[in-house]
Chain A
């Protein structure tokens, strides 16, 4: 009798549960790392999506910095409580890809939403970065940016440089930087954020040089670094030499150098296209140009690679959630939404249609800096050197690069030694990370 009553109770509860879930709104949690104005964009998009339909509800949750968000997601997955969508920064892409059982490819999810997924609608340079070797798109590009050149027009004028023609090659940058320094137009000529992302990863792609074997890791996880090749050594030795008299000034491992440029200390600056907002806000008389390339590199400039973050979806969740994610990603891909996101936030548009519409509206005539990263990424079909860099432990390899480059800039070792050490230490770390 007791068992029967219990069974009946269970049955009744099951019916109740299933009937409620048929009518209830499916919640889709979205963990992200966006602060300030970008956080408002996340909330606004979720709100608009939730109001546009009644089946799904996207719930954005701020989880801290990029690495903190990634860690929170990993911990949640290990505790079997993962969110539906998680925003992961570029350097975490390899980590996510390495976790095949933990994630569900976005291409698969988008086709679950009923609509066939058409990859050709998306910007090729960005999609290539977030795809598997066989071309399956794994994550949804959300905020993408690429490094470009900024310069201070007032300092250029004072130094007697051509205000309307920023330097195009690294050689021209060094000459201009020396002139800025020697003419005392500014205390330093050149500075840069992210030596790893801009001067190693993008330097390789833009000059069509190999960063590592296996298509820089896109073709497989077993990668041997190639960044002690002569072109890299030459570039960093030039930087190290310029650092000696302060013509080049080091700002820090991530975006710290932006302060130096904004303070008017340096005339030329390489930084993410996403950094434009702060420079505009500062009221500086600035100009922008393409990321410089090596004049003697064959095929340069090739294309730059995206930074920023993409949205990953965890595996093992109920189908309704995936349908909801598909609906949300299709909502984000709509041309008016993408065009607005691009124009308001400074992120690159994800779809070609959004780019075309923004172009037609005359937005780029007024804001030429916004088009530079798109052109850099779209100019040429990506080669095996320029699809991006994907290592299971890219954050760790970047740390190693930073440590060795800092020792080089402090005059403790040459560029050749710094890059040889980076390659030796990096290769060892990669082998350990892939379990050999």
Chain B
């Protein structure tokens, strides 16, 4: 048991937490309850007529093939983004360990992309791969690839995955570097003396010892891919072609703010809220408790 702080009077502790409570109530509970209410209403954009429909909006959303499609899109997008972002970051972090001269400069440069806003990152990649003016698109065509992300759904997906993971590599890199530094050198040296090659040393010693970091990053990257990539998708594909890159978050925006179907959009955001709560619970339960550091 952690030691309990004892306050001299009963009101003071409540006063001290009041600001935090107020912020949570105003910026989380109030909008969340509004979303919940809206999700059970069916009304016109101007709110001139509204009808309470219980869970009809949820039923409609969950039976909509487009919604199921967007779940699938989100799954593919999140897994691909997390895999690419983490894999590349791990490779770079391991390589950075081997750099002796200018290690600081190298690491600083690696962290830069994290400071770029998602929409800007999206625009950057959009320009590089724009079928008519992009320099990298020109290169792809020269290689004989029929590059047309405007019509080819898979290429569009590849493009948003590349942009989204590129932005997240820096963050992952930082954590992997820190994780690598925490691994005792003696273990690696002992293995080297026993004759284990670098690859063997990595997979049998470094990688398992990095597991806590990897698991933490997996959760963070999944949350990032789910909720933080709206700007990139909005700038690069707008959910197209067809509905090939319409993720759950993008669909909430599209149905609510473009198509003005507030009930459906609210129902979708409530479903997303449940997913966030689940992800956060997993993170607290497993990352904070089961994983031991060091």
Binding site for B on A (CB under 8 A): 67, 71, 74, 77-78, 95, 98-102, 250-253, 256, 259-260, 263, 265, 393, 395-396, 399, 402-404, 406-407, 409-410, 432-433, 435
Contacts and interface: CB of A to CB of B under 8 A. Distances in A.
B238 interface: yes
B151 interface: yes
B132 interface: yes
A187 to B, nearest CB: 9
A399 B254 contact: yes
Contacts of B254: 399
Given A78-B47, A101-B48, A396 B259 contact: yes
Interface stretch (B78-86, B164-172, B239-247, B286-294): B239-247
A253 B150 CA distance: 9
The 6 closest A-B pairs by CB, nearest first: A406-B241, A396-B259, A99-B46, A410-B151, A102-B46, A78-B47
A406 B242 contact: yes
Contacts of B112: none
B150 A251 contact: yes
A259 B45 contact: no
Nearest to B257: A71
B47 to A, nearest CB: 5
B133 interface: yes
A74 B260 CA distance: 10
B258 interface: yes
B241 A407 contact: yes
Nearest to A256: B150
A395 B259 contact: yes
A395 B132 CA distance: 27
B132 A74 contact: no
A78 B45 CA distance: 9
Nearest to A261: B132
Contacts of A67: 257-258
Interface in B23-47: 42, 44-47
A259 B241 contact: no
B231 interface: no
Interface in B144-191: 150-153
Contacts of B152: 410
A95 B240 CA distance: 24
Contacts of A259: 130, 132-133
B257 A410 contact: no
Given A250-B151, A265-B132, A410-B151, A74 B240 contact: no
8 contacts: A67-B257, A78-B46, A265-B132, A393-B259, A403-B241, A406-B150, A406-B242, A410-B151
A403 B243 contact: yes
B93 to A, nearest CB: 38
Interface in B113-142: 130, 132-133
Contact of A393 (B151, B153, B260): B260
B44 A406 contact: no
B242 to A, nearest CB: 5
Nearest to B240: A406
A399 B242 contact: no
A337 B262 CA distance: 40
B46 to A, nearest CB: 4
Interface string B249-287: 000001001111100000000000000000000000000
B150 A252 contact: yes
A74 B242 contact: no
B46 A77 contact: yes
A404 B242 CA distance: 6
Contacts of B45: 74, 95, 99
Nearest to B42: A435
A250 B150 contact: yes
B48 A102 contact: yes
A139 to B, nearest CB: 15
Nearest to B256: A71
Contacts of A100: 48
Given A250-B151, A263-B133, A406-B242, A395 B48 contact: no
Nearest to A103: B46
A407 B133 contact: no
B46 A74 contact: yes
Given A95-B260, A99-B46, A251-B150, A402 B132 contact: no
Contacts of A260: 132
Interface in B215-244: 238, 240-243
A41 to B, nearest CB: 27
A154 B45 CA distance: 49
B48 A399 contact: no
A253 B259 CA distance: 16
Nearest to B244: A406
B240 A253 contact: yes
Contacts of B133: 259, 263
B108 to A, nearest CB: 36
A396 B259 CA distance: 5
Interface in B181-216: none
Contacts of A98: 44
A109 B14 CA distance: 56
Contacts of A403: 240-243
Nearest to B153: A410
